[in-house]
Amino acid sequence: MPVARLSKSALQKILQGKVNEKATCVIKFYSNTCHYCKELHEPYVKLAGDYDDVHFFAFNIGDYPQVEKILGFKGIPTLCLIKTGMRMPKQRVIPDPEEPNKKMWYHIDDIKEFIEREK
């Protein structure tokens, strides 16, 4: 599936359980000034193409900085998997890697394992 950019209102709708459709969503939180985020862009887009049953999104943290506190993460890039279609959506943030990738922070295999484990 292609990666879609989320607006603040769309993200709030997902987080508040106002999406009735049952779906698995992966959201990459990023900033345009983050070099890790820029390097992660292409691999993330490619990864999205590997899944027919998962929706991939990107959200610029500058549009809603409070989301870090809401989801309990600190720093970017951060990936979050959210299952919609229930009153209280299931939310999981991928743990920081023990040994970060020097270019893009996350290792693609770690992201795949996280998605498979949580979806």
Domain definitions of the chain by residue range? 3-118
User: CB of 31 within 8 A of CB of 76?
Assistant: yes
Per 3-state DSSP, the chain is made up of helix, strand and coil in percentages (nearest 5) of 35, 25, 40
- Segment 45-57 shows an average pLDDT of 97
> Which CATH superfamily hosts domain 3-118?
Glutaredoxin (3.40.30.10)
Given this model, what pLDDT does residue 1 score?
78
pLDDT in tens, 84-119: 998 889 999 999 999 999 999 999 999 999 999 999
pLDDT at 108: 96
Read off the pTM.
0.96
pLDDT at 115: 97
